[in-house]
Amino acid sequence: MEDVRKLMEEKVAFLNRAAEAYYQKNEEIISNLEYDRLYDELEELEKKTGIVLSNSPTVNVGYSVMDSLPKERHPSPMLSLDKTKDVDALRSWLGDREGLLSWKLDGLTIVLSYEGGRLTKAVTRGDGIIGEVITNNARVFENIPLEIPEKAPVTVRGEAVISYDDFESINRTIGDVDARYKNPRNLCSGTVRQLDNSVTAQRHVKFFAFSLAEGAPASYRHEQFEWMRRQGFETVEYVRVDADTIEDAVKDFEKRITGFPLPSDGLVLIFDDIEYGRSLGTTAKFPRDSIAFKWKDEVRETILREILWNASRTGLINPIAVFDPVELEGTTVSRASVHNLSIVKELELGIGDEIKVYKANMIIPQIADNITRSGTAKPPGKCPVCGSPTKIEDDNGVETLHCPEPSCPAKRIKSFTHFVSRNAMNIEGLSEATLERLVDEGMVREFADLFRLERWRDRIVSMDGFGEKSFENLVAAAERASHTTPARLLFGLGIPNIGVANARMIARECGDDWERISGLTEEELTAIDGIGEVMAKGFVEFFRDDENRRIIDNLLPELELAAENMEGGSDRLAGLTFVITGKVEHFANRDELKRTIERAGGKTASAVSSKTSYLINNDISSGSSKNRKAKELGVPIITEEDFLKMTEG
């Protein structure tokens, strides 16, 4: 069966490559006749085995966008594993029994359910009690079988992972170093929980089964693994071991960890005899039929050179240890979080101390010990960002350092992130992580500072992950963003309840005149279609606030405001207001559809009201709240096709 599956995988990969070349690159790598022959062979293998892989060209999974991920309680708790770093402890735990030793993959645990041979549900582990339903995304994992031969109910548990090669490939597409994913597990976790499964499909998620919760009866775990493979699942690699062979097996896995293509944080040992394992029961936290083996941490000695105190958006000021670079688990490490003031005191840290560092779970740099223990490091008396006096707080014996100043820029990271976002000022490549560093270093205190970064050239190019090229790209992006529209600026200021559509509407009503926009009264605002009393009140209060006015007055000289380019526009849709909901098909995204409406003289709003002319939704029969509201008010619901006919005819 494994040979047949491998043959199917090869045919799927080749056919997909041929289709991509033909449809996207206008190239033919095989003739149509040859493509059809291979397609028919694959289809015949799928009928013969009952297995249909998720990326097979014989199925069209389709992409969709969800509003949220529903939660679901697991039928029984998914417990975590007890762990050890000692091979002798593994041998003692196994006793005179046989076990299966396998990779412990470091991704996201997923539970797959099948009914009638078809995938019906996929749920994340979550907190072990309640998980998130991610069926939409699981359908586009690269190697999950959408159909299996077994027609009775089947429940399989496994790990969703992204390989190191794919992780690095995805990171290379992200220009901003700080915006890159820290490790494959973080990337996988975010990918699996995407609301748009077209994003998931691009990231090459794979699923490796490690246990059968429901399915074929079996006496031994290795029989279950063999059965899962016959059903079309890829399983984690495992070997059968006993007390005499387990040490050599662990050594073999350990030798291969450096070149292993998938993220792994250890091994799992489980009793092969299923009934025996079940008879042992569980503790409050762990099952007794299995145990995890963690690799012993690689420890290096180095010299502590500096302690940075970074202010966060919560006001917490975190200590970061900076030390002479060392090689750990195959990467160069030069800094580690010390977490809080209590740990700084407990380790008796001081500049110049000889310290021991390691990577917790081979990922997160930590200080293991301080050999010198000079104890000379002292917390700063002033916030490194705003200069306000700091405050030490004690929470159940754990001391933390805080900035109590409400207006500290570090607490306004979210407003900076919104300001630079795509629909606002669109400063490309400026991630939240980079913003935090610029704010921490005192280089950015308000919006205007984002357009004055040239003054900090020497400091920025010397920051970790930055250089001349990154700095030049950042300055160039800010320069491009400084030539903007009043609508973008209005949205970027983060005025409560003012979204992209509202900002454009207000700007258009004022003829893109910033003075008129900022001086609008509540009465003038509520006269604009789609602007209610609450929105108008918040808008006026925002511009009356002295601090907001000061920030805007400092910002305006850095910008060049121009009316939104409506080149190729018309008045075909003049006087009409549209609301858009659901997935768009003929446009890249909703923003492109909105721009098309506005170029034709129409308006867009975010909510259906009596002033709405049309609701655009490709799923006219949907029971969504906007569809229901439109029907209540007698607002026509049209598809994109209908809309395109309106604009063309």
**Which residues carry out catalysis?**
104
Please classify residue 540 by burial: count the beta carbons closer than 10 Å to its beta carbon, then call 0-12 exposed, 13-18 middle and 19+ buried.
middle
Which residue bears the tokens 């409400």? 406
Pairwise CA distance, residues 416 & 557, whole Å: 18
**Cα gap 210→270, rounded to integer Å:** 11
CB 473 within 8 A of CB 453: no
- Find residue 124's DSSP bridge partners: 110
Please name which of 102, 104, 99, 103 lies closest in space to residue 243, comparing C-alpha atoms.
99
State the burial class of residue 63 (Cβ atoms within 10 Å of its Cβ: 0-12, 13-18, 19+): middle
The answer to whether 191 and 205 are in contact (CB under 8 A) is yes
d(CA 316, CA 417): 19
**Six-digit token string for 268:** 């799992």
Maximum CA pair distance of the chain? Answer: 84
Contacts of 280 (CB under 8 A, 6+ apart): 271, 288, 289
Report the amino acid identity of residue 549.
R
Q: How far is CA 545 from each of CA 414, 493, 498, 550, 552, rounded to the nearest angstrom? A: 19, 13, 17, 9, 11
Per DSSP, the three-state class of 461 is helix
Q: Are 486 and 517 in contact (CB under 8 A)?
A: yes
**What is the amino acid identity at position 433?**
A
With b for 16 or more beta-carbon neighbours within 10 A and e for fewer, the 278-288 pattern comes to eeeeeeeeebb
Tokens of 383: 């916030």
Q: Which amino acid is at 403?
A: C
d(CA 290, CA 82): 8
What tokens were used for 291?
């145990």
CA distance 168 to 105: 18
Q: What's the token pair of residue 300?
A: 């290096």
Alpha-helical segments (H) within 257-302: 274-279
d(CA 196, CA 175): 22
Q: Please give the backbone phi and psi of residue 5, each rounded to the nearest 5 degrees, phi first.
A: -60, -40
Q: How many helices (H) and strands (E) does the chain have?
A: 24, 26
The span from the CA of 277 to the CA of 283, in Å, is 13
Q: Which of 311, 326, 370, 324 is nearest to 344 (CA)?
A: 370
Q: Which alpha helices (DSSP H) does 348-398 contain, by range?
A: none
Q: Are strands 391-395 and 300-311 parallel, antiparallel or unpaired?
A: unpaired
Q: Specify which residues 360 forms β-bridges with.
A: 364
Side chain identity at 107, as an amino acid letter?
Answer: G
Distance CA 93, CA 83 (A): 11
